[in-house]
Structure 1
Amino acid sequence: MNKKKYSKKNITWDEWFAGVVDGDGYFYINKKKEISFELTTALVDLNVLHNIKNKLKAGSIKSRSGSNSFRYRVKARLVIENIIHRLNGKLYNPARINQFEKVCYILKIRMKKSPYMLEIPNGYLAGLIDSDGTISISISKTDAITSQKPGKAGKIARLSQSRGYNQIYLKITSIYKEPLFLINRSYNFGTIYTEKKNIKNKKPKNQYHFTITNYEDFCKLDEILYQYPLQSSKMHRCRLSLKYFEYKKLKLHLKDFDTIEYKTWLNFCKLWFKYNF
């Protein structure tokens, strides 16, 4: 790879790609030492796979039977080598690093150690949100009738009528804590908590959650995503996040249902559920 011709735009994309791979990627090696790379997303985030396929100019995207998801897969050795060079020194998920190390050994490529902290600005966070992120508004109280309404109309009704009993949050969830602590120490925002493993599961594991809930942290996130936009449908809600705080500050959610202020809040709620998350 010619470093002189390797643009900042490519570096930015590689950082984003590393975040996506740490979340949803997978390197597979069969008994013949043949390597394939796979990445799976939900239907609503299919654009992520098209972005990767277009950038690498190779691979296939197919639906997964029995689930509402799609998988990108590539086996061509030159493309695998391209992926390895793009990701080298940028991965933090221990499982992915373990896979990556085995691939580097087969391809005789020297593996680089990822730095302790991200060099800011960086596209890694956007990739991790695109893969393992969730942005939602939790509702802590609703009436019996509204709670029974089905589908998107029910979701809109519950949020729009929840008055003061709602809270926006962005969460990144993983069974590996390393990528989350990396984000926390590199950007100095958000909190991390541990959800203890459920021993009833066949393979119980702790889950780690990086979360932001307050206005200041969402402003920081907005600045980051302005430079490194999300490629998934989650960008829709991220764009609405500061509107949420603005409308809550103006108390539009507490106005009488027949006022223009409340109707502005209602329109926000309808926009929030534009996509089927």
Structure 2
Amino acid sequence: MTPAATALRAGWARGLIELRQSFTNAGDLLAHLLWPVLMLAVLYFMRDRPFGSEGLLLGTLALPSILGMNAAMGMVSMAQTLTAEREDGTLLRAKATPDGMRSYLVGKVVTVAGGLFVQLAILLLPGLLIIDGLAVGSLDAWLTLTWVLVLGMLATLPLGAVLGSVFTSSRGQGLLQLVVLGMIAVSGIFYPITSMPEWLQGTAHFSPVYWLGLGMRSALLPESAVSVEIGGSWRQLETVGALGAWALLGLAVAPFVLRRMARGESGSSVAARRDRALRRIG
């Protein structure tokens, strides 16, 4: 078995262990449940409100948007996890093992993606009972939803790791969230991108969040909703290409960035950060 395959296998096993542990921890379990339950409450109150002239309901349009936003926010979860484990020395221990950065990244992708899939299921399955007008009556819709989510997470989670490596402490997470929310704001997830200026539409096409949102809408919305999209098409081939390119780029760049960041880590630097954190608390 090659070193890369060994690292992938170790990362997969590590990710599954951490994911299982997150469902036996009360705090993590509450975090998995809280946001989907709140969003279901919002969807319930907007479920019957009409929107536009196509006969669609606001709740029908909102559900794919909320699912896409939750998936994109995995970048924040990944970055926060990376920053926390850099401060507590977990990243330093990974650095000390052969091909440890690759294994660490795979494990984090598995853990965060697994948690996101559970949260999305908690939101989607009851949402299907609350919201009318969704195009989920065919196998093709579910297959589209599956590949969009898998490719979308592979495209965004390594990007979250790259963004997280920029911040040296958890105090910079507020700025990171602003960056991610800015990407979401111009991605057209919550409103048609055709309503934005043309130069901003072009910018949004370079973001994986736009393609993730477009893919979610193509999976869940009826065909009549495609009229507000660019070119009147869901552009699924372009979605596969864009998300696939982001996934390949992220999986290639993130281990390099993490290795470079880890080279500056040492026992003394971890201890110094811990002392500073204790002084802030005290």
Which category describes the TM-score, using the shorter chain as reference length? Answer: under 0.3
Q: Which structure shows the bigger proportion of residues in helix conformation?
A: 2
Greater relative contact order (Cα < 8 A, sep 6+): 2
Query: TM-score of the superposition, structure 2-length normalised?
Result: 0.26
Query: TM-score of the superposition, structure 1-length normalised?
Result: 0.27
Larger Rg belongs to: 1
